[in-house]
């Protein structure tokens, strides 16, 4: 599984810890999309780079880290074909994959600790999409993304 990892200056410490974890995970090919400096940067630049890589199929999944995870998730969700989920515990991570087939995980470096973040990442990367009734719901979201005039909701 190809995984893109990026963070802004507020998420840099957690991003570095997650990079180490991804390097140790069997079957994961990690790609660093920055930042690698404590200098202030704009989170949308990094969120959009990862989201576009996911949407284009250059990577399978993306993980984004900023101070709260909110800005990263908002920016990533602007890219058609991407479903980013802001998760703060293993349960939301699991459900974001099982129910929503989230391609991008957003985390708050100032909100959760490194051990919790590591567990969230492990759960998120290993949980498959459940399909079934959830597939129908994903298709409704995709219909709106594609500009369909069909009423999805």
Question: What amino acid positions are annotated as catalytic residues?
Answer: 66, 99
Q: For residues 101 and 141, what is the distance between their CA atoms, to the nearest angstrom? A: 11
Rg, the chain, Cα only = 15
């Amino acid at each position: 599984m190809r995984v893109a990892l990026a963070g802004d200056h507020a998420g840099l410490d957690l991003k570095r810890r997650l990079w180490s974890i991804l390097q140790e995970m069997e079957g994961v090919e990690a790609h660093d999309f920055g930042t690698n400096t404590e200098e202030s940067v704009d989170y949308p630049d990094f969120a959009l780079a990862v989201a576009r890589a996911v949407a284009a199929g250059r990577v399978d999944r993306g993980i984004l880290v900023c101070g709260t995870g909110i800005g990263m998730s908002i920016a990533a969700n602007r890219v058609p074909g991407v479903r980013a989920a802001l998760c703060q515990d293993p349960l939301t991570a699991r459900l974001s994959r099982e129910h929503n087939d989230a391609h991008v995980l957003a985390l708050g470096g100032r909100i959760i600790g490194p051990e919790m973040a590591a567990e969230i990442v492990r759960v998120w990367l290993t949980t498959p999409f459940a399909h079934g009734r959830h597939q129908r719901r994903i298709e409704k979201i995709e219909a709106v993304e594609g500009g369909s005039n069909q009423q999805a909701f």
